[in-house]
Amino acid sequence: MNVKIRNLREQRKISQAEMGSLLNISQPQYQRKESGFADFNEEEFDILAEHFDVAKDELRDERVSQHNYKQKGGIAQVIYYIADKLVDEVKDLNSILKSELLDTREENKNLKLLIEELRKSNQK
């Protein structure tokens, strides 16, 4: 996992999709690279270093990939990172669904009132 790049991205509130666009790759491709399942190439490191205004070597310092995970904390670190991201995604989706549910309930309440009014007017 590339902890340094992840932290820089999150501090600046940049999405993985935006980073992928910056590197001219898809969001899933970017996620694989940031998580250590694929490596950034030299050109991508150049772009990232310029974008974050840091030395290219500084971005590599905290790198954990499939090739060196034993020295840097293991695959568990990658799994925890992915799990954290999934939990964040579920929380975001839950929030959206909750908002939509409240909106739907309000609409249903208004429709019930309208139906009741129509029934009363038809009874007259």
pLDDT (tens digit per residue) in 20-48: 999 999 999 999 888 878 888 899 999 99
Q: Is 38 exposed, middle or buried (0-12, 13-18, 19+ CB in 10 A)?
A: middle
Q: Are the C-beta atoms of residues 78 and 64 closer than 8 Å to each other?
A: yes
Cα–Cα distance measured from residue 39 to residue 41, given in angstroms and rounded to the nearest whole number: 6
Sequence letter at residue 49: A
Backbone angles phi, psi at 105, to 5 degrees: -60, -40
pLDDT at 37: 80
| 8's tokens | 């820089």
Kindly tell me if the per-residue pLDDT of 53 is higher than 50.
Answer: yes
Q: What is the pTM of this model?
A: 0.50
